[in-house]
Structure 1
Amino acid sequence: MSYLKQMNMKSYYYLSLMLCALSAGVSAQEITKSTDVESERTLSADSIITQDKQLDSLYQSLPEVMITGQRPIVKAEQGKLVYDLPRLIGNLPVDNAYDAVKELPGVTEMNGGLMLAGQGVTVILDGKVTTMSTEQLYSLLKSIPSSRIEKAEVMYNAPARYQVRGALINITLKQSTGGPSSWQGELYGKYNQKHYEGFNERASLIYNGNKFSADFLYSHNHGRGYSLTDKEAMHSLADGSVHHITTDEMGRSRSHTHSFRVGTDYNIAKDHQLSFVYNGSYSTHHSLMDIYGTQQSNTRSNSTDWLHNGRLDYRTPFGLKAGAELTYYRSPSDQLLHSSMQDEELAFYTEDCQRINRWKFFLAQEHNLGRGWGLNYGAVYTTSIDHSYQYYYDTEKDAGTKTGVSTGIPDNMQSRRREQTLNFYAGFNKSFGDKLSLDASLAVEHYKTPVWNQWDWYPTINLSYMPAPGYVWQLALSSDKDYPDYWAVQDAISYLGGGYSEIHGNPFLKPAQEYQLQLTHILKSKYIFSAWFAHTKDYSTQTLYQSSERLVEIYKHLNFNYQQQAGVQASIPFDIKQWLNSRLALIGVWHHEKDDDFWDIPFNRNICYGIAVLTNTFTLSKKPDLKLTLTGMARSKATQGIYDLPSSGYVNAALRYGFAKGKAILNLYCNDIFETGQIKPRIRFGTQNVTNDYACFREIGVSFTYKFGGYREKKREEVDTSRFK
């Protein structure tokens, strides 16, 4: 289940947003800033365990304002949009790959994850799909400097040859071989204050040789966290009694995360390459939570995470690709809880651990048949083993004695689950002259777990039409399957909020199946408009339910009948002379969810909501290089399951100073200036009555980036590079 955050001081927020708009005049540019990460909080069982075109410049005279044309930031290529991402973020206070992705038109952030046109999106690096979890991949992206990015490819409907279904963003990192050897690097440091302090240090180094290239990366995130939550609930039981519950929750934490990456490419010949990438991380998290009010509770938690991921890729000149990937993840944690509410008490110590071993092997072939025809086919096999356990120890009994029998303490859990996926796909692409192209594919997949054993098929069609240079129409039909998190399907119970809140696993949770139709129009290679409709069968999310049998609220992943969305989106960029660059995004969504067997209160709910994001970048001075960025976001109220989500919004500001011939950048920023980014998620449905009020803290910070290198080693004896790129 996802929590959205409180919106207060609305008058201040809207006033500030209006000032941003007035300062922009007729400006506005495509957005991509996350609209919901500042407005949602995610609770999950797993988090408890892990802690969690080229155009000449032209001038048009318009009344009272001069608007300058630019080189396009986007061009269309066979079912995908290719963005000049470095130019898109050049004037923005963006310092890592994750934040750069959020600047792509149509990309928003919800539930702590990236969305494209309102739907989930997969992000890959250099065309390589990883077996790392979404959370692990996002951590990697946050550690990669934005200066490493060459371009971004956006596909609302990825063909099967990408081994990804649904929306896809492919981030291509800068690489070069075939010339003199060179070294480049970057050092980065950041300090931020959001009630408590946080730090980030990062170093990266790139070597480009004649045939061999390599990159090295290390990042360290550390600091303290602080949270305040006020809960008010009217809890109705089956016996007719109603209990008024009010609690004040204060949480404090400290954490360290070390991330590292090594990537190598060896060019044997032209279009003949061997690549290896290793990604790893190590993190620790310690937290203390105190609760006062109807419930009195004290909870201490500790967790440690290890991640090792290695991938080997081989590409041949005749279109054959092969590869293997291994991911190892281990996350042990412990919790000591003492809690009392009314006449019930809880006192226990728990140890739990999740260990994942996952392997992936793939073989793919592409053929260029001539006359605009292309053929592709392949196979992908993925298997994983999940070793997990959760042991409870009653602190009122002898130390070290496992329990599961005492009243109020769940049974112990130990499991070993194997999951296998076998996928075969075939597709073709055809260019009908320079204006029309078609890309279609079909994937057949077998999914097997201890509970599910089924075959599914996934058609994909992309049709692109370019009536004139800079004008594109794209029609896409896609299908996808979304698999549940590993811990979400464990038969385990975890405690949150001192004992009144329980998180239950669901071993019978089904994968969700999604079908989407999308129409996209690009105008003058710059303005982007899209409309879509999506239907997701067996959609699942973590929801809250106040038990009618006992005084607890239960968080659990459940399958709905379906979720439906229809939406429209516009991304509009404008420049005014050379002092203002603005971007505007408008998104409208019709959202519908239905569940006929949601506990004892089935629901069928729909709502329309809108999102607007305006980003203005002012060039205060060119010498020195000084830029000011103001960003405002507003979203109307929405729903999620039985939750009502009030409207939300924020205003951010950043001052960017570049010096040392562009090698150094100093960035000062303040996020959520008026502390309006959070809302009060509430439930008023049937017998359910809950409001969670999360405290909001503005964040101020400073970061410094220094780029070095460009040094090229002395060229050795001449090497024949005629066969290289």
Structure 2
Amino acid sequence: MERRRLKILSSRLLIKLILPFLYMFIAVGSKAQKQLSGLVVDTNGQPVMSASVIIQSSDSAEHNVQITVTNVDGKFLFHSVSFPYQLIIQHMSYSDSYVNDSVSNVRVVLKEKDNTLGEVVVKGNRPMVKTTNDGGISFSGNQIRQRRLVETVLDMIEALPMMMKSGESLMLMGATETSILINGKKKILSDEQLANYLKTIPVSEVKSLDVYYSTPPKFGVRGASVNIVISAPKHEDLHFRGEGFVSANYSNSMKFDGGTNFSLSSKKWSMNAGYTESNAAKLRNQTLETVHTLDGVNHHILQTTQTSSISKDKTAVMNLTISPNDNVGVDVDYTFLHKSPRNNINFNSLIDQQCINGNTFSRYGSDTHNVRVALTYKDIEFGGEYEHFQENADQIVMLDKNQNIDNDHNQSYRGLNVYFNGESELFNHTIEYGIDGTLRNTTNYVGENGSSESLMKQKELETTAYLGIRIPLGKKGFINTSIQGEFINSTYKRNNGYKEKLWRDFDIYPTFMLMYRFTPLHIIQASLSSTKYYPSYWANASYSSYIDNYSRIEGNPQLNPSRKYALNVNYIMRSKYIIGLFGESHQNYFTQLLKLKKDEIAAAYKYYNIHKSQRFGVMAIVPLNLIHGFESKFTLMGFYMHQEGSIDEITLDKTKVSGRASISNTINLLGNKLMAEIDGWVQLPVIQGLYDVKAMWNITSKVSWKTPIKGMSVSIKVDDMFNTLRSRVQSNVPQQRFSFRSYGDSRIFSLRLSYIFNGYKAKERKTIVNDRLGF
């Protein structure tokens, strides 16, 4: 009995000794170490960089504290923390935020301090570029806004290191054509229409500009592109924001531009609208000199023209974005564009000492309506787009006021597009797939003097499908390869006759992309792609439009599509220096050329195919910051050109070594309140079919001041300060010897006043935002 009592006492004592250790084990087990990631944004949904994030266990008995800071995207990461935890987020411009939770990713919204002493900008040695998951080179919109004087999205595109501007066209270095995308979609706009459209987008909403030398198939375009990633503003409560601007521009006369945009947004939806009105007046002079041989007789011709152009353009956009949760999104977009240029050409022709004076008056009017709807669910997107374009043009040519030529040109276009894109994970690989279908109907009408008429109706069916795979190379990079098939069937009817085939093609376009990070600051990117370019509807139409009594513009119904193969390799060092190699080969390359006619004393601008056009070269982008407050960026490109083929009976085989250099300088005065820029570039001589194009150069300057009135800024800009942007072209081909020089009022003085205002904002509530958000 005594032994039994002793056993019971011993058991109870053992239990009392084991229980504390058991409790300690359970407590420790309940605080397992896990990874925690997060995102810190402001009330506009923009990432907050360099915010201090302090974490400790919610158990006050533990004293393990870790500290980190958010990166340029507002993200932070702790590899091992105890759950539950307490976060403290601090930033000098925002109120402190406290979070107690047990989730593995957290989203924190910081609110601006009410007692901030003006605006403070902290600049560090942040990376200039980074790479995207689909092989692009991404430039932070916030970083561009801080480092450059950008007032429109067009300014942001022009500020990209590898971007070149030729006239109104924008091209990436090492590429001959570049598509401008907005959230992965391309607008069917002319260069001038695109510039007006980009003025309606607030620069504050641009999250990044992503550069692709081989555009992913899901975007619906091939070749090089720049994707403007716009992040619709989201707020915890209903919020209104707007911006208005007015600018005065002087070249040969004073013209005014103006516009406004606004957004109304909450946490799950946003509505954006914008309107701009642009008034342009341009004056251009051209001199053409040639010896025109006809039936063995040489005719000496000196043609001078002066073109004055006045245009009033209107652009209106509206966008509605609905995101009920992180998996579902609906996007509706509407665009309206109106263009009404008037051109007046005064010409003087001296043909074998015989002088002829005249005038050509042209009046155009076009309207474009575009509606796009997209629905996304997780990694799947389904959408459609409808576009209607109508243009009417009248032209009157008067020769010595005793002979008139009256022309009418009309074009009507309707296009419907439906697409589907998706991606899935399979054995640690990402599979991308999609299909796209487009129907187009175009009617071109040309009438001359009310007697001669030409009507061409063109119908196109285009379908594409693609399949791609992204193969990870450990944590260092990936290979992204895809294959895309395209079928296009284009038919036309002339003057309501029988249906004829214009082209019926099936093509396959393979692409290959390699992205590899040797270190986070040293990256190599390589891409191999192919694409096909189809002529515009006017280029393929049978028509003639007079410039003066000697030269005209003609369509070419025999014009064929061109095929291009391109290779680009870029090495990014220290996330800011870029060295690149590029090569491209065009088959059936088409371009517009001036050609002297064989059967009359006249010359025609017309698109022609060239059998082969090749270009190979190197480029380098070098940013420098040698002096505080003074930043420079040098861009250099050298290349070899070769063009071979025939234009009618003329045989071509031409080569040229050329290059381009540019420099961009930004000077910070009074912090970021007063900034100045001066940019310049020089283009060495190049070849273009029959042409030998002489060198060109240009210098532009700009000063911007953020006034003491919050939200108001003033800028002064001078395009082409020394009025040097002149085109000089000559042809030394036998029977096609001519030269012409074109120059105009490219020197433009602009004064712009803009104001950003915040209207209604729901009353703030003293709550801590702790929404879960995956990356």
Question: Residue type of the partner of 2:289?
Answer: E
Match of 1:302 among 363, 370, 379: 363
The match for 1:692 is 740
Match of 2:685 among 626, 637, 651: 637
Match of 2:639 among 568, 586, 589: 589
SS at match of 1:539: strand
Q: Is 1:527 aligned to 2:582, yes or no?
A: no
Listed one character per residue, the Cα deviations across residues 383-425 of structure 1 (whole Å, up to 9, x for unaligned) are 11001101111xxxxxxxx223xxxxxxx21111001111011
SS at match of 1:331: strand
Match of 1:71 among 126, 132, 139: 126
The match for 2:163 is 107
Match of 1:196 among 253, 256, 268: 253
State the distance in 2 between where 1:723 and 1:307 align.
Answer: 42
Provide TM-score, normalisation by structure 1: 0.84
The match for 1:466 is 517
State the distance in 1 between where 2:124 and 2:270 align.
Answer: 37
Q: Please state how far the C-alpha of 1:228 moved relative to its aligned partner.
A: 2.0
The match for 1:49 is none
State the distance in 2 between where 1:112 and 1:643 align.
Answer: 20
Moved more, 362-371 or 635-644: 362-371
Please identify the structure whose Cα radius of gyration is greater.
2
State the distance in 2 between where 1:286 and 1:464 align.
Answer: 49
Match of 1:669 among 717, 727, 739: 717
Question: Residue type of the partner of 1:541?
Answer: T
1:555-566 paired onto structure 2 within 5 Å: 555-566=605-616
State the distance in 1 between where 2:488 and 2:749 align.
Answer: 47
Match of 2:650 among 598, 601, 612: 601
Contact 2:725 2:743 in 1 (8 A): no
Q: Please state how far the C-alpha of 1:677 moved relative to its aligned partner.
A: 1.4
Q: Please state how far the C-alpha of 1:340 moved relative to its aligned partner.
A: 5.8
The match for 1:330 is 390
Q: Please state how far the C-alpha of 1:370 moved relative to its aligned partner.
A: 5.5
Q: Please state how far the C-alpha of 1:123 moved relative to its aligned partner.
A: 1.2
Q: Please state how far the C-alpha of 1:711 moved relative to its aligned partner.
A: 5.0
1:444-523 paired onto structure 2 within 5 Å: 444-450=485-491, 451-496=502-547, 498-523=548-573
The match for 2:704 is 656
Q: Please state how far the C-alpha of 1:268 moved relative to its aligned partner.
A: 2.7
The match for 2:659 is 610
Q: Is 1:437 aligned to 2:478, yes or no?
A: yes
Listed one character per residue, the Cα deviations across residues 669-723 of structure 1 (whole Å, up to 9, x for unaligned) are 2222222111322222212222222234322121111111175313699999957
SS at match of 1:452: strand
Listed one character per residue, the Cα deviations across residues 138-184 of structure 1 (whole Å, up to 9, x for unaligned) are 44224434333221111111222222211121101132336222111
Moved more, 653-662 or 415-424: 653-662
Contact 2:271 2:321 in 1 (8 A): yes
Q: Is 1:292 aligned to 2:348, yes or no?
A: yes
SS at match of 1:90: helix
Question: Residue type of the partner of 2:357?
Answer: Q
Q: Is 1:348 aligned to 2:405, yes or no?
A: yes
State the distance in 1 between where 2:136 and 2:771 align.
Answer: 30
Q: Is 1:171 aligned to 2:207, yes or no?
A: no
Q: 1:565 to 1:223 in 2, by over 3 A?
A: closer
Listed one character per residue, the Cα deviations across residues 204-245 of structure 1 (whole Å, up to 9, x for unaligned) are 1012212110111000001432222222222122x1111111
**Structure 1: gaps of 5 or more residues:** 1-52, 57-67, 394-401, 405-411
Q: Please state how far the C-alpha of 1:111 moved relative to its aligned partner.
A: 5.6
State the distance in 2 between where 1:137 and 1:627 align.
Answer: 27
Q: 1:510 to 1:437 in 2, by over 3 A?
A: same
State the distance in 1 between where 2:456 and 2:188 align.
Answer: 21
Contact 1:212 1:264 in 2 (8 A): yes
Q: Please state how far the C-alpha of 1:525 moved relative to its aligned partner.
A: 0.5
SS at match of 1:660: coil
Contact 1:189 1:202 in 2 (8 A): yes
State the distance in 2 between where 1:321 and 1:132 align.
Answer: 24
- Say what the alpha-carbon RMSD is for the aligned residues: 2.4
Q: Please state how far the C-alpha of 1:300 moved relative to its aligned partner.
A: 1.5
The match for 1:551 is 601
Question: Residue type of the partner of 1:389?
Answer: Y
Q: 1:90 to 1:681 in 2, by over 3 A?
A: farther
Q: 1:454 to 1:134 in 2, by over 3 A?
A: farther
Question: Residue type of the partner of 1:447?
Answer: I
Contact 2:183 2:227 in 1 (8 A): yes
Q: Is 1:260 aligned to 2:309, yes or no?
A: no
Listed one character per residue, the Cα deviations across residues 537-571 of structure 1 (whole Å, up to 9, x for unaligned) are 11101111011221111111111101111111111
Contact 2:174 2:583 in 1 (8 A): no
Match of 1:575 among 617, 620, 625: 625
Q: 1:668 to 1:244 in 2, by over 3 A?
A: same
Which protein has greater RCO, CA pairs closer than 8 Å, 6+ apart? 1
Instruction: Give the number of equivalent residue pairs.
Output: 638
Contact 2:205 2:233 in 1 (8 A): no
State the distance in 2 between where 1:695 and 1:534 align.
Answer: 31
The match for 1:423 is 464
Contact 1:85 1:152 in 2 (8 A): yes
Moved more, 215-224 or 169-178: 169-178
State the distance in 2 between where 1:413 and 1:145 align.
Answer: 44
Moved more, 599-608 or 457-466: 599-608
State the distance in 2 between where 1:382 and 1:90 align.
Answer: 41
SS at match of 2:154: helix
Q: 1:55 to 1:714 in 2, by over 3 A?
A: closer
Contact 2:174 2:582 in 1 (8 A): no
Provide TM-score, normalisation by structure 2: 0.79
1:34-53 paired onto structure 2 within 5 Å: none
SS at match of 2:185: coil
State the distance in 2 between where 1:307 and 1:69 align.
Answer: 45
Q: Please state how far the C-alpha of 1:110 moved relative to its aligned partner.
A: 3.0
Contact 1:611 1:633 in 2 (8 A): yes
Q: Please state how far the C-alpha of 1:527 moved relative to its aligned partner.
A: 0.6
State the distance in 2 between where 1:610 and 1:86 align.
Answer: 32
State the distance in 2 between where 1:683 and 1:495 align.
Answer: 22
Question: Residue type of the partner of 1:424?
Answer: A
The match for 2:40 is none
The match for 1:62 is none
Contact 2:178 2:223 in 1 (8 A): yes
SS at match of 1:227: strand
Contact 2:211 2:226 in 1 (8 A): yes
The match for 2:444 is 388
SS at match of 1:538: strand
Q: Is 1:231 aligned to 2:292, yes or no?
A: no
1:98-247 paired onto structure 2 within 5 Å: 98-110=154-166, 112-119=168-175, 120-132=177-189, 136-177=193-234, 179-237=236-294, 239-247=295-303
Contact 2:634 2:662 in 1 (8 A): yes
